[in-house]
Amino acid sequence: MRSAPRALFFAPATLAVTLSLPACVADVPSGSPVGAPSATSEAGLTSAPVLPPSPAPAPAPAGMVTYSFPDGRLSFAHPAGWRVQHEQVSSSPSVEIATVLDEGGKQQINIYYSQIGDAQAGPAERYVLETDPVPGLAGQSVPTPHASFFVDHINGAVQYRMGLTSGLPVSPDGKVHTGPVLLGRRVLAADVLFAGAPFADDRAAKAWYWSGEGQALKAVLVSFSYR
């Protein structure tokens, strides 16, 4: 089944402050010398400070193609032959949505990348089927985001989900983690799109996960990188 519609809220205090800034300032990469003293030439003329270029995305794994978002900071890889549909929903605050489609045009992954976060209610029970850390997001968000496949039990309903989680989907002490991944001044959510009841049981879900399609989707999720 598809994920429930997202309810929007303004992200933590640092993000809320960002939204009050002009768009040209909000999109400057973190660490850039905004407001730094300008350089002075030998003739005594003052020149504008030189901002560093946006870093290049990490090389794509073999058989994969890299897609970078317009800010040049967030990227991921997808199988050759797949494509990405990108939409700039809003420029101030920035709200971007990208959909990853496979060779047959099937919508496989929905990506939400924005200066506005989304609220998610936690399930009563969550069972983790598989989870792996995302190397390209390590150190950019704490705890390290994971590419996770799990099943939630909500009011008697069973919902299989696969996507990025902010840390482990369930912490060692049993706490369920919900909400998007925080990346600097933005938030990121990426979810595999399941239609209807995709699996008869957990055994069928695991068999699909280790199939070609399941592993291709996992490869996309673990390839996310932010610089």
pLDDT digits (tens, 9 = 90+) for 115-173: 987 656 566 699 999 999 999 999 999 999 999 999 999 888 899 999 999 999 998 88
The pTM is what? 0.72
Structure confidence at residue 29 (pLDDT) = 37
Q: Is residue 113 part of a domain?
A: yes
Q: Is residue 211 part of a domain?
A: yes
225 near 69, Cβ under 8 Å? no
Structure confidence at residue 56 (pLDDT) = 53
CA distance 132 to 177: 15
Across 48-57, b (16+ Cβ under 10 Å) vs e yields: eeeeeeeeeb
Residue 194 has pLDDT above 70, yes or no: yes
Which of 7-21, 89-103, 109-123, 209-223 is predicted with the least confidence, judged by mean pLDDT? 7-21
Q: What is the mean pLDDT of residues 69-93?
A: 96
- Which candidate, 41, 72, 18, places its Cα nearest to that of 226? 72
User: What is the dihedral sign for C-alpha 217, 220, 223, 227?
Assistant: negative
Q: Is residue 44 part of a domain?
A: no
193 near 107, Cβ under 8 Å? yes
Tell me whether residue 35 is exposed, middle or buried, using C-beta atoms within 10 angstroms of its C-beta: 0 to 12, 13 to 18, 19 or more: exposed
Place of tokens 């990208």: 98
Percentage of residues of the chain with pLDDT beyond 90: 57
Rg (CA), the chain: 20
Structure confidence at residue 189 (pLDDT) = 96
Please provide the average confidence, as pLDDT, over all residues in the chain: 79
Q: Is residue 30 part of a domain?
A: no
CA distance 204 to 59: 34
Q: Give the total number of structural domains in the chain.
A: 1
Q: Is residue 33 part of a domain?
A: no
CATH of residue 91's domain is 3.40.1000
Q: How many CB atoms lie under 10 A from the CB of residue 67?
A: 21
CA distance 219 to 160: 18
Structural domain range at position 152: 7-20+60-226
CA distance 132 to 168: 8
Q: Is residue 70 part of a domain?
A: yes
Across 10-28, b (16+ Cβ under 10 Å) vs e yields: ebeeebeebbeeeeeebbe
Q: Is residue 175 part of a domain?
A: yes
Q: Is residue 46 part of a domain?
A: no
Paired tokens of 209: 């996960």
Q: Which residues pair with 60 in a beta bridge?
A: none
